A and B are shown apart, each in its own frame.
Chain A
Amino acid sequence: MALLDLADITKRFPGVVALDGARLSVASGEVHALLGENGAGKSTLLKILSGAQACDSGRLTFDGAALSASDTPVQRQRAGIVTIYQEFNLQPFLTVAENLYLGREPLRFGLIDHKRLRADARAVLDGLGLDLDPDMEVRRLNIADQQMVEIARAMTLQAKLIVMDEPTAALSPREVDILHRIIGELKARGIAVIYVTHRLKEVKTICDGYTVLRDGRFVATGRVAEIEVAGMVRLMVGRDVEFLQRPPHREPAEIVLKVDGVSRKRGRHEARGTSLTDVSFEVRAGEIVGLAGLVGAGRTDLVRVLFGADAMDSGTITLNGEVVNPASPCDALKAGIALVPEDRKQQGCFLEHSIRHNLSLPSLKRLSRWGIFVDETAEKALVEDFRTRLNIRMAHDGVAIATLSGGNQQKVLLARCMALSPKVLIVDEPTRGVDVGAKADVHQVLFDMAATGVAVIVVSSELPEVMAVSDRIIVFREGRIAGTLDGFAADEETLMGLMATGRAA
């Protein structure tokens, strides 16, 4: 009998069906891969499993008993389900031992028994074969060791099932080997692991079973031994809804944007992100260039540099023959480079503010009398114009943008950029969290912009999207350009190969 059985799981968000009858079954001592493209519903399913979100309908059975949909994450942990997210859930200023037993410290006369705490922690770490100092503050550990602390903590919680979301995304090859050894150790103890990853070769090495989701639906499940990597890709990619294919474009036009030797060392200006090494390419008027790559390959880092949001160490950015090297987003916008950022809620929207105020903000100078007083009539006309052109569905322009669906929010942000009549339009993950119907609308906007002679750059983690919208695809890997492909000739296997290994498969 399966340890975990999820059946008919459905979850709706405003405007999007995230999961539609998804299922997942995992046996004790099994390492089970949960596969799917970005937006397939993996994260939502994990959140429902960990208790972070409640499903709208569905049955959850664990260890022979039904789970209540309204369980909190703490209740699920007590039941034996522990989730390790990409962002770790550790207290950086506490020690390894304190983190392992946070909230469950051994007590002596009502006070924490530090001696026993340390001894218990030591025992758990030794049991996993981990050479970590229990007294070390967690913030001094590297990512891989912090991950080990998370796994050790799951052990102290008597976990029966450990969920790992992209556990190797930030690890070096050697660290991946260590992680896999530890997972083998867990397996030997009869603990089940759900392993979410985009790295399909790892699935072949470490996993026993797999389940594939696509567009929120269950697609297939089976034994890893009985399927090849190419077969998994086909299951993940084959889709019901085809993307609009970009019409083949006309004669090559003049070069608008020239990126020459852009390099940026991680940590010099910003702590996060990927180092960029000698990135050079050109974008012509009316051309759509897609940037493909795995998470952390440097695509977002590059477009943030182009937009002046992050600094670069060396290189030149030339616009219509003039060096611009924007030092701030303000500079970039003045020069004619616009960006729709990756994270709509954190970096794009003013969620509590009205749609109108969100859309018009960077254009206000043009919409003001003497550059000071906002001409609300002109402003409303601008919003109305884009509402009809982009088919933005809203009650009226005074409601908070937070009430719109993801697709309509994205259209407002696109309109914000379009209103500035940019020469270069950069869109980072244009359809992340956007429902299928609105995806086509968003793509049509990109085609229309290109048709008017704008140079368009699209960053996307969804390969079918990159292939559908791009005239040319530039593949990033570890902060460098791994290759450039013709958007019409490219196939998914070649792209995947370049993204994962730097060589065309």
Chain B
Amino acid sequence: MSTSTERQPFDMVAFLRTWGTTLFLLLLIVVFAAWNPRFLSLRNAVNILTEVSIYGVIAVGMTFVILTAGVDLAVGSLLAFAAIAAAWVVQAMGGAVPQWLVALLVASFIGLAAGYLHGKSVTWLKVPAFIVTLGGMTVWRGATLILNDGGPISGFDDGYRWWGTGSVLGIPVPVIIFALVALAGHIALRHTRYGRQVYAVGGNAEAARLAGIDVKAVIISVYVIVGFLAGLSGFLLSARLGSAEAVAGINYELRVIASVVIGGASLSGGSGSIRGTLIGALLIGVLSNGLVIMHVSSYFQQVVIGLIIVAAVAFDAYAKSHRGKV
């Protein structure tokens, strides 16, 4: 074993493990742009970023959850429920308070509360997160359908729509919010005590407990965070579409989890980053959009995205065993 700090010879596997996804993203952009220059148009770029922002907000929260070795399958359903409940309250309130404020508060609160329930079930009932949130996925979707009999709620005012369709200095509002959420997530994970605790709980829960960390509180907190962000995402999506729909956010959980995993996080917890998740979310967004521009059928898109998820994780596993051998 060497304790010197001399430069190691260039390690291709380690380099690709850190930068592989980013390089692949750039490669995709070049290929799509070469195929059809319209891909690089400002309008398309803004379009991709806005799409990514809606689920990217949740992916930031999902990074916290996966870092603790958990998972949340309920985010897509929760998004729909938060949005439709917010729209329902907006309708019921009339016009005394600005619509957007009511919707934002209601959607956020529902997300927080549902996340707390999920976290409490995981820690108190000792039901695995996969099962708790699999149940939650069905419960919240059902609740969404019950609330407005399966129909959409629309008719929002301009103040509400601004959150989904407006822009500041040419940057769409959802993109700005995504950027702020990602920045806050990055700071929380990298530079706060809380972030260290999240990594510790996922890295080794028993060691974390013996180091004096309230493991249950940390676990509950990550579900609260992802729940809140699912609610926020539901608000943004309804503002963008101009209606809260019962079928909104279907399959979002898979897209979100894929973003985090492609971004290099380990499902067994303790490793991952917001930077990685950001790249993962962009990769999925660029791929979906680019394949449409290339006139690849949407059926094929699913096949391609699925294969990329498996390839990314397989490479990560390979890189780990490669490092172990040196």
Q: How many residues of A contact B (CB 8 A)?
A: 38
Instruction: Give Cα distance in the complex from A334 to B212, angstroms.
Output: 9
Which residues does chain A contribute within 8 Å of B271, judged by CB atoms? 352
Chain A residues contacting B158 (CB-CB under 8 Å) are none
> CB of A271 within 8 A of chain B?
no
Choose one: B207, B212, B213; the contact of A347 (CB below 8 Å). B207
A364 touches B199 (CB 8 A): no
* A368 within 8 A of partner (CB): yes
Stretch with Cβ within 8 A of B (4 or more), from A127-135, A147-155, A171-179, A370-378:
A370-378
Q: How many Å from the CB of A24 to the closest CB on chain B?
A: 29
> In the docked arrangement, what's the CA distance between A330 and B209, Å?
8
Q: Mark A280-310, 1 if CB is under 8 A from B, else 0.
A: 0000000000000000000000000001010
Q: Does B206 contact A (CB under 8 A)?
A: yes
Does A500 have its Cβ within 8 Å of any Cβ on chain B?
no
Q: Is the CB of B1 within 8 A of A403?
A: yes
A396 with B203, Cβ < 8 A, contacts A329-B211, A353-B270, A362-B211 known = no
Contact A361 B213 (CB under 8 A): yes
Q: Does B38 contact A (CB under 8 A)?
A: no
Verify if B297 is at the interface (C-beta below 8 Å from A).
Answer: no
Q: Is A351 part of the contact surface with B, judged by Cβ < 8 Å?
A: yes
Cα A351 to Cα B199 in complex, Å, equals 12
Binary interface profile of B, 179-195, with partner A (CB < 8 Å = 1, else 0)? 00000000000011110
B5 at interface by CB-CB < 8 Å: yes
Are B207 and A364 interface neighbours, CB within 8 A?
Answer: no
Tell me whether A357 and B210 are in contact (CB under 8 A).
no
Interchain CA distance A393-B192 in the complex, whole Å: 27
Which among B4, B5, B200, B210 is the interface contact of A341 at CB below 8 angstroms? B210
Measured between beta carbons, the chain A residues less than 8 angstroms from B4 are 395
- A350/B200 contact (C-beta < 8 A), A309-B209, A394-B3 known: yes
Complex CA distance for A438 and B193, rounded to whole angstroms: 32
B209 near A361 (CB under 8 angstroms)? Answer: no
CB distance from A381 to the nearest CB of B (A): 17
- Complex CA gap A97/B194 in Å reads 51
- Decide if B212 touches A362 in the complex (CB within 8 Å): yes
Contact for A364 among B2, B5, B196, CB less than 8 A: B196
In-complex Cβ contact of A373 among B3, B191, B199, B209 (8 A) = B191
Q: A14-B1, A396-B5 are in contact. Are A372 and B192 (CB under 8 A)?
A: yes
- Within 2-51 of B, Cβ neighbours of A (below 8 Å) are at 2-5
User: Given A357-B199, A364-B196, A373-B192, do A349 and B207 touch, yes or no (CB 8 Å)?
Assistant: yes
Residues of A within 8 A of B193 (CB): 364-365, 368, 371-374
Whether B204 sits at the interface, judged by CB under 8 Å, is yes
A 328-349 binary contact with B (CB < 8 Å = 1; else 0): 1110111000010100001111
Please state if A350 and B192 are interface contacts (CB–CB under 8 Å).
no
Residues of A within 8 A of B209 (CB): 309, 328-329
When the two chains form the complex, which single residue of A333, A352, A395 contacts B270, counting CB atoms closer than 8 Å?
A: A352
Distance A353 CA – B189 CA, assembled complex (angstroms):
14
State whether A353 and B3 are in contact (beta carbons under 8 Å apart), knowing that A348-B210, A371-B193 are contacts in the complex: no
A416 within 8 A of partner (CB): yes
In whole Å, how far is A360's beta carbon from the nearest beta carbon of chain B?
Answer: 8
CB-CB under 8 A for A329 and B212, given A347-B207, A372-B194, A374-B191:
yes
Q: Of A332, A350, A368, A372, which one neighbours B203 at CB under 8 angstroms?
A: A350
CB distance from B240 to the nearest CB of A (A): 33
Least CB distance, B307 to chain A, in whole angstroms: 28
Contacting residue for A357 out of B3, B192, B196, B214, CB 8 A: B196
Give the residue name and chain of the A residue nearest to B214 (CB).
A330
Q: Does A15 contact B (CB under 8 A)?
A: yes
In the assembled complex, which residues on chain A have CB atoms less than 8 Å from the CB atom of B207?
Answer: 341, 346-350
Any chain B CB within 8 A of the CB of A405? yes
With A and B bound together, what is the CA distance between A331 and B22 in angstroms? 44
Contact B210 A329 (CB under 8 A): yes
How many whole Å from B217's CB to the nearest CB in chain A? 10
In the assembled complex, the Cα of A361 lies from the Cα of B5 at a distance in Å of 25
Give every chain B residue within 8 A of A309 (Cβ-Cβ): 209-210
Give the chain B neighbours of A352 by CB distance below 8 A.
203, 270-271
Chain A residues positioned under 8 Å from B3 (CB to CB): 393-395
Interchain Cβ contacts under 8 Å between A and B, 11 examples: A330-B213, A347-B204, A347-B210, A348-B210, A350-B208, A357-B200, A361-B200, A362-B213, A372-B194, A373-B193, A403-B1
Please give me the 9 A-B residue pairs with the lowest Cβ-Cβ distance, nearest first.
Answer: A350-B203, A333-B212, A364-B193, A330-B212, A362-B212, A362-B211, A361-B211, A350-B204, A368-B193
* Further 18 A-B residue pairs, CB within 8 A, beyond A350-B270, A365-B193, A394-B3: A309-B210, A328-B214, A329-B211, A332-B212, A346-B207, A350-B200, A350-B208, A352-B270, A353-B203, A357-B199, A361-B208, A361-B211, A361-B213, A362-B212, A371-B193, A373-B193, A374-B193, A374-B196
